[in-house]
Amino acid sequence: MLSNQEVAEELLEKFGDQVFDFEEPYGLLTVSTTRENIISVLEFLKNHKSYQINFLTDITGVQYPDNVGKEFMVVYHAHSFIHNFRIRLKVSIPEADIHIPTATGLYASANWMERETYDFYGILFDGHPNLIRILNIEEMDYFPMRKEYPLEDATREDKIDALFGR
């Protein structure tokens, strides 16, 4: 049985202070790393002879507009079918330099996930073979999941606050 402790210790041994902020929310091992090391960490987990964390479940973005210098985060979820073990990897990047290396060389499935993350957050995956919008129209000149836009249209008059518990 593969344990969070075992994987965390081996990651620390291999990468030292390049892996940090270890957590276990709801039992899911969560580790942060840098954009310079994310591909090496993913590759290590995928090619490890016993871990075999070789299925990329998801890549997504998150925006923290008030976290200066770390306004965006790219989050990876990976899974070992052999051990039924999951891990979450997080990389924070600044809005002023919103680049991260592509994982398409390791996982073909990263292609569409990275395109979706680009489409909604504007995060640029360096080396991606075809980083274009996947769900929104190409002509769109903004990224709709960014927290730059109000949640509601304040000019609408067809909503009665009492019907919405306000």
Tokens at residue 41, please? 């960490």
**If you search the block for the tokens 């680049």, which residue do you land on?**
99
pTM above 0.85, yes or no: yes
Task: Indicate whether 122 belongs to any domain.
Answer: no
> Which CATH number belongs to the domain containing residue 39 in this structure?
3.30.460.80
- What are the pLDDT digits (tens) for 46-103? 999 999 999 999 999 999 999 999 999 999 999 999 999 999 999 999 999 999 999 9
Taking the C-alpha atoms of residue 98 and residue 89, their distance in angstroms, rounded to an integer, is 17
Task: Indicate whether 101 belongs to any domain.
Answer: yes
Q: Which residues pair with 33 in a beta bridge?
A: 19, 91
Total structural domains within the chain: 1
Instruction: Look up the domain containing 8 and give its range.
Output: 4-109
